[in-house]
Amino acid sequence: MSVLAAHRVTLIPGDGVGPEVSEATRRVLEATGVEFEWDVQNAGLGVMDKYGTPMPDHVLESIRKNKVAIKGPLTTPLGKGIRSVNVALRKELDLFALVRPCKSYPGVRSRFQNIDLVIVRENTEDIYAGIEFQEGKPETAQMINQISAAAKKSIRPDSGLSIKALSITACKRIVNFAFEYARTHGRRKVTAVHKANIMKFTDGLFLQVAQDIAKEHPDIEFNDRIVDNMSMQLVQYPEEYDVLVLPNLYGDILSDLAAGLVGGLGLAPGANLGETVALFEATHGSAPKYAGMNRINPMAMMLSGVMMLRHLNETYAANMLEGAVAETIREGRYVTYDMKADRNDPTAVGTSQVADAIIGKLEKARTPTAI
């Protein structure tokens, strides 16, 4: 049990299945014995009518004040002109590093075993920065003309544009973070992932920065891979890799691929980290069609809670919670449908029942054994 004062943490339940997995996660975090003071803040589609934005300023201020937050998934409508709430959070709070561990747990239904990878994704630049120009707009025509003239390459006039920008500043920051993460977590190797053979002035810059910084960390092995080859390597030889550091877009894609190696997004936690603020979240989306059905696997958000506990220096509680999750997976009894060998298995349990099972193990672990 923690001997420190209660940790004040912003809790954003999210929408879709978010409130269900958030509540399950809150319950298991409290069952570790660590004291929390939850600052509950609502965001997403449910607050649009009231505040005119899915991410009100007071939510951002809560995170800035508390320095630590954990959130459920938030919905972003496709093609509706609303920027991703997750991307906005990362940009507004300068959460430049997204860390996504992908780890095998015995009992998981997967074609792969003994996977232990960490994706370190740059979180603020690249295509995801949202520098876009809509097809048919006057400013888009102006940009097409300017770029075509400067690059001496024609762009079709009926094009939409997305600008890919990578800076030395952001590349240095994320690569240094990856090496420091590897060192502090006992990792052996960092691999930079890029497409520098084609995008020589963006991905080429990323690779050059990574190579230069690698020389400052001779204790950590370094190599690089082209992103399409890396995709194949992860499927064929995942054991060859340890920490992968990537620009924003490739990091998003390959983190889902790596999650697939260990059983899917239901087991994929994540941490968005900046200089002063940390925001923890599950990798999966809000799955609104399952909202209120008590069906979705909460373990990704629970494992994000494990990462949060470690960030708060509650190492014993973090290890206890991860152990309880791992034991629940290994036993295979109190797990959701996606964790069963047959997804139609009638013995699958719901979101809240998974939390109940894990809480039972935590209570047992915290109870002194009679002599």
Residues known to be catalytic: 128, 195, 228, 252
What amino acid occupies position 294?
A: N
DSSP state, residue 128: G
Q: Are strands 97-103 and 269-273 parallel, antiparallel or unpaired?
A: antiparallel
Placement of tokens 């409130």 in the chain: 19
Question: 140 with 134: CB under 8 angstroms?
Answer: yes
**Distance (Å, rounded) from C-alpha 263 to C-alpha 257?**
10
- Nearest Cα residue to 260 out of 108, 76, 123, 122: 108
Cα→Cα distances 210→43, 232, 250, Å: 36, 22, 15
Per-position b or e across 268-290, b if 16+ CB within 10 A of its CB: bbbbbbbeebbbbbbbbbbbeee
Our measurement of the distance from residue 305's CA atom to the centroid of its chain's CA atoms, rounded to an integer in Å, reads 12
Rounded CA separation 256/270 (Å): 11
Dihedral sign from CA coordinates of 210, 273, 117, 164: negative
CA separation for the pair 43, 281 (Å, rounded) = 14
Residues whose CB is less than 8 angstroms from the CB of residue 144 and which lie 6 or more positions away in sequence, other chains included:
155, 157, 159, 161
CA dihedral 20, 309, 267, 242 (to 10 degrees): 160
Would you call 365 helix, strand, or coil by DSSP?
A: helix
